[in-house]
Chains A and B, each alone.
Chain A
Amino acid sequence: MSAVIEPAVAISEVKRQRTQQPRRIKKTHGTAVISFATLIGLLALWIIATKYHFASALFLPSPSDVAVQAVAVASEGYANGTLLDHILASLGRIGVALAFGIGLGIPVGLLMGLNRWAKGILGVPIDIYWGLPPLAYLPLMIIWLGIGEASKIVLLSLAAFAPICFAAQAGVRSVPQERINAARSLGATSYQVFTSIIFPSALPEIFTGVRIAIGATLSTLVAAELIAAQSGVGYMIMSAANFLATDVVFVGLIVIAIFAFAFATGMRFLENRIAPWKGKL
Chain B
Amino acid sequence: MLSIRNATVKFEAADGTEIHALDRVSFDIPPDSIVVALGASGCGKSTLLNAIAGFQSLTEGQILIDGLPVDKPGGDRGVVFQKDTLLPWSNVLDNVALGLRYRGVPKLERYRQARELLQLVGLSDFETKPPYELSGGMRQRVGIARALATDPKILLMDEPFGALDSLTRENMQQLLATVWAKTRKQVFFITHSIEEALALGTHILVMSPRPGRIVARYEADFVRTFAATGDLGPILSHPRFVSLREEIRSIIHTPASHNERHAA
Contact = CB atoms under 8 A, between A and B. Distances in A.
B230 interface: yes
A195 to B, nearest CB: 11
Contacts of A10: 134-135, 137-138
A197 interface: yes
Contacts of B88: 277, 280-281
A182 B87 CA distance: 10
Interface size of A as a range: 20 to 34
Given A1-B171, A181-B73, A196 B98 contact: yes
Nearest to A11: B125
A277 B130 contact: yes
A184 interface: yes
A3 B175 contact: yes
Nearest to A182: B85
A121 interface: no
A22 to B, nearest CB: 16
Interface in A130-186: 176, 178-179, 181-186
A4 B90 CA distance: 24
A201 B123 CA distance: 25
Contacts of B55: 181, 184-185
Contacts of A182: 79, 81, 85
Q: Is the interface of A mostly helix, strand, loop or mixed?
A: helix
A189 B102 contact: yes
A186 B102 contact: yes
A9 B135 contact: yes
Contacts of B101: 196
A212 B50 CA distance: 39
Given A1-B231, A5-B171, A7-B122, A187 B150 contact: yes
Interface in B140-158: 146-147, 149-150, 156
B144 to A, nearest CB: 12
A200 B86 CA distance: 13
B74 interface: yes
B103 A185 contact: no
Interface string B89-101: 1000000001101
Contacts of A178: 81, 83, 85
A188 B102 contact: yes
Nearest to A188: B102
B98 to A, nearest CB: 6
Contacts of B79: 181-182, 185
Contact of B75 (A3, A187, A197, A200): A187
Contacts of B122: 3-4, 6-7
Nearest to B178: A3
A277 B95 CA distance: 14
A2 interface: yes
Nearest to B172: A6
Contacts of B78: 185-186
A196 to B, nearest CB: 7
A14 interface: yes
A179 B131 CA distance: 14
A275 interface: yes
A187 B85 CA distance: 15
A200 to B, nearest CB: 5
Given A179-B87, A185-B77, A280-B88, A192 B171 contact: no
A200 B85 contact: no
B85 A277 contact: no
Contact of A187 (B74, B86, B135): B74
B8 interface: no
A196 B150 CA distance: 17
A186 B98 CA distance: 8
B216 interface: no
B53 interface: yes
B87 A185 contact: no
B219 interface: no
Nearest to B168: A6
A17 interface: yes
Contact of B73 (A13, A185, A275): A185
A58 B120 CA distance: 77
B174 interface: yes
Nearest to B134: A10
Given A7-B126, A185-B75, 10 more contacts: A1-B230, A2-B230, A3-B174, A14-B134, A17-B133, A183-B98, A186-B150, A187-B75, A196-B98, A280-B132
11 contacts: A1-B174, A14-B135, A179-B85, A182-B81, A183-B98, A183-B102, A184-B72, A185-B78, A187-B99, A187-B102, A196-B87
The 3 closest A-B pairs by CB, nearest first: A187-B75, A186-B99, A277-B88
